[in-house]
Structure 1
Amino acid sequence: MSGIVKNTKNLWRRSMRLSDSPMDVAKTRTDAPQRTGEVVTIAVIGCGQRGKAYTQYALDYPNRCKVVAMAEPRPKTQKYFAELHGIDKTLVFNSWEGLLAASADTINTIGKRLADAVLIAVQDHLHAEVVVAFAAQGYHILCEKPMATDIKDCIRMEQAVKEKDIIFGMGHVMRYSPYSKEITEIVRSGSLGELINIVQVEPVGFYHFAHSYVRGNWSEEKSSSFALMTKCCHDIDLICHWFYPATPVKVSSFGSLKHFRKSGKPNNAGDATRCLECPAEKECPYSAKKIYLEPVSQGHTRWPAATLVDGVPDIENITEALKEGPYGRCVYESSNDVCDNQVVNIEFSNGATASFTMVAFTSAICDRQTRLHFSHGEIIGDMNTFTVNDFRKRTSKIHRPKQEGGGHGGGDAGLIRSFVEAVLTSNQAALGTDVGEVLKSHLTVFAAESSRKTGTVVDCSAFEKEARQTSVEGSV
């Protein structure tokens, strides 16, 4: 047996060695359905905040899901993640291309993939390239939101998924929280009559917006995408989900980068470009010292501080990051260009309407404020609890959905659980959506941004038709 073939077989055997489950780091949860011998194996591409959040499920339910391979370029993050999940060192890669090549070797020599599925949590602009590559090898795919940052790429992803008939999940986690699922059940039941209007507000949070959309990875459209896509595509998706089977027919949008510009800089800040040297720092709500250093000094080392460094976010490392990196820059001296406030209006095919607002300047951090108006009642919620007012019964009832813990009110866990179930049963319906519906909600987001930039009301059907035609022409 040649060395290459032998090594390839060893790679596959190690990825399938389910006896090496992470029982040493997590006890098997007995409340999960038991399926003897059926464990979904996953390769994780991108082991940062989102990759860690989703794969917590593998630690909590090792009888259902196991991480067997990974790709992550940051040495300390890579080492931590590999040890946490007990990944064999031969299945730890510095790049997704390396993992893809190793997988190709095992497929070509022994006809087996390294895992059942891949979890893709790389930067947004890479989603399409990675999804298309691993779909071609037949992997089931769970991809972090957004689908992609370009319409053509979204359409290309849909085609790749449909061509291989694989399970596809999208990181629209809001659908999968106990809160949203309970509301969905009421909507579908018809107990309050017909859903006629939705009003939803996404209060991003003043320091969250400064962290992610002024200083962070999603601050510039050219290197990421517009804020409505990177932050709020799952809000639009949830609105479309609640109105289903009605579909968006018209959309309009208005918004701007109103505050986080040089013109907003306090006069007493002078020429300072970094918070650590700014005379106005103590009065500034967006001070990097207040957002990162002070919490770390009090022992709060998770998000957002944890995203600044590769390794332990201690005072020394965070201070160094603020001296040299983008997270220490003045929010009024940064290169950001995405909207800090935006509104979207949607008309649906059944005559129903929705309005959505994204705004940076809030104390609440992503606790969506939602109102659903029905012909015979209403639902008013804040992502933690919601009140159902029934006009016919003249009743008002407060609902407190079960808090599962984890990100997005349990949505992170709900999504990965549904994805694992879909893979185990070869049933896309377990996810409650498919790649076609995912694409349609993304196209609505693209249409809204087109409306904002052109100052026109966009016809959604015509917009999709043109997008698909342009995609076909571009591929010829």
Structure 2
Amino acid sequence: MAACVDVIIVGAGNRGSIYAHFAVAFPERMRVVGVADPNPFSRERLREQHRIEEHNAFTGVTQLPDVSLADAVLICTPDRLHKEPAVVFAQKGYHILLEKPMAVTAEDCIEIMSVCSESQVMLAVCHVLRYLPAVQKIKELIDSGAIGDVIHIQHLEPVGFYHFAHSFVRGNWRSEAGSSFSLLAKSCHDIDLINYWAGGRRCLKVSSFGSLSHFTKDNQPQGASDRCLSCSVEAGCPYSAKKIYLDRVTQGEVGWPVSVLCSSSLPDIESVTEALCSGPYGRCVYDCDNDVCTNQVVNMQFEVGLTASFSMVAFTEQMCQRKTTISGSKVTNSSRALQAGDLPTLSGKSTLGRGGRLSPPKVTHHVDPSPPGASGLGGHGGGDYHLMDRFISAVASCDPALILSGPEETLQSHLLVFQAERARREGVVLSGGGEEGRDTVNNNP
């Protein structure tokens, strides 16, 4: 049996707590021995949950001693605070699990990759969707030639109306100055999947269109207040903070999104009411300081004729239930397509063949997103569990091949995201990244 892996959690918020839960589910495989977070409530809660010694609880990375405390570090800080801990821990020799995105500029992403390479440490970026069994099945079918040459990838991310309002209108990712643009913050997962399925083919050209729609002062209903709890038209608003948060607490639901409202206590009716009266999540969605895109399309042309199209839209009832169609040409006069709805389930279907007849019939592949015993790690369709399983196994066995989202490939997909956003802003078609992107990408167009 492989040795138990000791880890430090940097950032004890929502994502840090989820990844740390792997030690609860599989104590023989992972142990949390340190935590760093400036928030005393979050830091102490995680310390108590994992019985971390008091002298191994820190307010920041600079407090950590030079002596190694663990085998690996899980960096789950806000987006703009990824680079410093990643560089510091890499230089100290820790293997790194880094929450996505790698960083909010291409230069910082490149530096993180370079330092990890120079320090000879493993880096796994939390592109959890890559680790889904359904995504791996799609990759397997593509690589096996089951659909022939991949011709086109069509991928949709329906963010969900209240999810977008929570995270990208009221929440931490609402402004580029405070976090980053929404294609990077929300959809770098999806561009990474397309790049992954493209199988090493370089993206030659990229264009993009999108904007901030609806969540503006001009669309605020007549008579609306700046806060939901004092609003005369709140009852008829689908974005009512009372409905999204307070009603959930009343019904005993204190998981996400309620769980992130209170920074100094567990959520209850009193603390959530106070948060809605004074904090960002109680504001009218039409009277916030948000500036990120609500809808965006990205069009990509890869080598060997492969094209791809990605769409992200906020205004959907479904939440993050991504849908993918991958079309390929098996033989002359025959085409096939892979269709994945909600991603935990994958369907493969042939389309019209010679003479307009359906041949062969639909084939459905069922995959189990997460095995028994992984409760608490079921986020992203089970991707949270599979990511942690692979990373901890890689560290325990010193085998970076187990990591599906390593530094070089992740950097390539990030450069493509930066190029796509630049193309949207400038209204032009650009090179897709790669070596050219390292030289030409402009992160502040």
Superposition TM-score, scaled by structure 1 size:
0.86
Alignment of 1:305-344 (within 5 A): 305-310=258-263, 311-344=265-298
1:403 equivalenced with 2:369 (yes/no): yes
1:78 equivalenced with 2:38 (yes/no): no
Per-residue CA shift, 1:277-333, capped at 9, x if unaligned? 111101111110011000110011000010010321101000000000010011111
Change (3 A) 1:451 1:460: same
Match of 1:20 in 2: none
SS of equivalent residue, structure 1 residue 414: helix
SS of equivalent residue, structure 1 residue 335: coil
Question: 1:463, CA displacement in angstroms?
Answer: 4.7
Question: 1:75, CA displacement in angstroms?
Answer: 2.2
Output the CA distance in 1 between the equivalents of 2:7 and 2:102: 19
Structure 1 letter corresponding to 2:261: L
1:360 equivalenced with 2:314 (yes/no): yes
SS of equivalent residue, structure 2 residue 8: strand
Per-residue CA shift, 1:163-189, capped at 9, x if unaligned? 111100001000001221222211121
Q: 1:161 aligns with which of 102, 116, 138?
A: 116
Structure 1 letter corresponding to 2:345: T
Match of 2:437 in 1: 464
- Judge conservation of contact 2:134–2:345 (CA < 8 Å) in 1: yes
Instruction: Spell out structure 1 runs of 4+ moving beyond 6 A.
Output: none
1:445 equivalenced with 2:417 (yes/no): yes
SS of equivalent residue, structure 1 residue 354: strand
1:387 equivalenced with 2:347 (yes/no): yes
Structure 2 letter corresponding to 1:53: I
Question: Identity of counterpart residues, as a percentage?
Answer: 45
* Higher-helix-fraction structure: 1
Per-residue CA shift, 1:84-111, capped at 9, x if unaligned? 1121111111222212xx2x1x2xxxxx
Output the CA distance in 2 between the equivalents of 1:165 and 1:128: 17
Match of 2:356 in 1: none
- Judge conservation of contact 1:306–1:313 (CA < 8 Å) in 2: yes
Change (3 A) 1:312 1:354: same
Structure 2 letter corresponding to 1:420: I
Match of 1:369 in 2: 323
Output the CA distance in 2 between the equivalents of 1:125 and 1:415: 22
Match of 2:154 in 1: 199
Structure 2 letter corresponding to 1:323: C
SS of equivalent residue, structure 2 residue 12: coil
- Judge conservation of contact 2:142–2:197 (CA < 8 Å) in 1: yes
Runs (5+) with no aligned partner, structure 1: 1-33, 107-112, 472-476
SS of equivalent residue, structure 1 residue 460: coil
Question: 1:81, CA displacement in angstroms?
Answer: 1.0
- Judge conservation of contact 1:179–1:409 (CA < 8 Å) in 2: no
- Judge conservation of contact 1:177–1:410 (CA < 8 Å) in 2: yes
Question: 1:399, CA displacement in angstroms?
Answer: 2.4
Question: 1:266, CA displacement in angstroms?
Answer: 0.9
Question: 1:403, CA displacement in angstroms?
Answer: 3.1
Alignment of 1:211-360 (within 5 A): 211-269=166-224, 272-310=225-263, 311-360=265-314
Output the CA distance in 1 between the equivalents of 2:325 and 2:249: 37
- Judge conservation of contact 2:228–2:284 (CA < 8 Å) in 1: yes
Output the CA distance in 2 between the equivalents of 1:158 and 1:76: 32
Question: 1:76, CA displacement in angstroms?
Answer: 2.3
Q: 2:58 aligns with which of 80, 83, 93?
A: 93
- Judge conservation of contact 1:178–1:409 (CA < 8 Å) in 2: no
- Judge conservation of contact 2:34–2:52 (CA < 8 Å) in 1: yes
Superposition TM-score, scaled by structure 2 size:
0.92
SS of equivalent residue, structure 1 residue 357: strand
Change (3 A) 1:267 1:463: farther
Structure 2 letter corresponding to 1:85: H
Question: 1:74, CA displacement in angstroms?
Answer: 2.0
Structure 1 letter corresponding to 2:130: R
Output the CA distance in 1 between the equivalents of 2:134 and 2:196: 14
Change (3 A) 1:264 1:48: same
- Judge conservation of contact 1:447–1:463 (CA < 8 Å) in 2: no
Output the CA distance in 2 between the equivalents of 1:287 and 1:262: 16
- Judge conservation of contact 2:344–2:368 (CA < 8 Å) in 1: no
Alignment of 1:24-103 (within 5 A): 34-35=1-2, 38-99=3-64, 102=65
Per-residue CA shift, 1:7-44, capped at 9, x if unaligned? xxxxxxxxxxxxxxxxxxxxxxxxxxx33xx1111000
Runs (5+) with no aligned partner, structure 2: 331-335, 354-358
Question: 1:467, CA displacement in angstroms?
Answer: 4.3
SS of equivalent residue, structure 2 residue 20: helix
CA RMSD of aligned residues (A): 1.5
Match of 1:10 in 2: none
Structure 1 letter corresponding to 2:228: C
Structure 2 letter corresponding to 1:425: S
Structure 2 letter corresponding to 1:390: S
Match of 1:135 in 2: 90
Output the CA distance in 1 between the equivalents of 2:361 and 2:57: 57
